[in-house]
Amino acid sequence: MNNAAQDVIGYGWRVTVPATSANLGCAFDCGALALKLYLKANLIPKQSQNLTVQYAGRTPDRIPLDDSNLIVRAIRFVTDYFSAPHACGHIVVESQIPVGVGMGSSAAAVVAGLLLGTQYCGRQLSPEQLVQFAAEMEGHVDNAAAAYYGGLVLGLSSNSGRVTAVKTEFPEQIKLVVVTPSITVSTDHARQALPSSYQRADVVHTLQRTAVLAATCFSGRFDLFPELFDDRIHQPYRQQLVPGIAACLGYRQEGLLGIAISGSGSSVIAFVEKNERGIADELQEIFSRAGVDAETLLTSADNHGAAVTKELVPTY
């Protein structure tokens, strides 16, 4: 932890951004769901020459506290965009989102930084602009849009760079079981595992499920079932990166509506209507039998998205 500004206390801005689970099996690179796990970041302006960062939360060893920090980079992206003076102050971050396990930690950090940057500049970005900038910085329109809007979001980025995202609220009574193995998978490594071309039958198989997933959710029916999450574009290749994932994807149990790799992994996410504790324990046991430690988390969808307030925010 960086203690460079322990004595700072005053008014600043506080932003809260949810975690996200992208891809959702068949919705590769176009769908994501916001989760009730949060990154909270405070920016306290002060007289200094730079931005300092202190962090408390999950996987602190994976969080840089220098200029490479994504919140710092996003704040500076905004000040550069508005041709404003570089921000100076202290950033205090608390996060429930582990890094490197497919839960949208990068998107949450970028969205947080963009929101704090606009507050610092006293300017506004439209929601479409903010999501576009987040997608440019983070590389994933699905995660960026879900982190900002909340709920279930389907999105695309056009050749011109324009981002289009459509949101629907996701029922909170559908419980989300996230199982995170101790093995991490970098996004680059997960991308490299994918083939350069696909068979037409595999593409059609996945497109059919993506279309039905979108139709049932946006119609408000949410008639989810395990076959709906059966993808042939990324999961057959990424499941080989961590022992136990393939068995998790093949797992079936009463109350289980579906299961998918969360983002690019290594976490898996299960959609559950009942027996969530039993399902969580059994998925954790699958990893254990494969020789991999894992932890489980029970949560639900966040339908509100990112929020920013001005308040008294002391460091600690």
> What CATH code is carried by the domain that includes residue 293?
3.30.70.890
Please give the pLDDT value at position 272: 98
Query: What pLDDT does residue 269 have?
Result: 98
Cβ-based burial of 136 (10 A; exposed 0-12, middle 13-18, buried ≥19): middle
Report the relative pairing of strands 152-157 and 163-168 from DSSP bridges: antiparallel
How does strand 89-95 pair with strand 31-45? Answer: antiparallel
Residue listed under structure tokens 């730079």: 50
Residue with tokens 């600690």: 316
Residues in the chain: 316
- 100 and 198 housed in the same domain: no
pLDDT at 315: 46
Instruction: Please report the pLDDT score of residue 2 as a whole number.
Output: 39
Q: What is the mean pLDDT of each run of 10 residues along the chain (316 residues)?
A: 42 93 97 98 85 91 92 97 92 94 97 96 94 93 97 92 93 97 92 96 98 97 96 97 98 97 97 97 98 98 95 56
Domain that holds residue 69: 11-169+302-312
- In the chain, the number of structural domains is 2
pTM above the 0.85 mark?
A: yes
Closest CA to 247 of 283, 281, 279, 275: 283
Q: What pLDDT was estimated at residue 157?
A: 87
Region of 235 (left: φ > 0; alpha: ψ -120 to 50; beta: rest) is: alpha
213: its two tokens: 């997933």
Q: What is the pLDDT of residue 3?
A: 39
Question: What is residue 313's predicted lDDT score, i.e. its pLDDT?
Answer: 57
Yes or no: say if 42 and 24 are a contact pair by the CB < 8 Å rule: no
Residue 208 lies in a domain: yes
Instruction: Tell whether 128 is covered by a domain.
Output: yes
Of 198, 20, 3, the C-alpha closest to 90 is 3
Residue 259 lies in a domain: yes
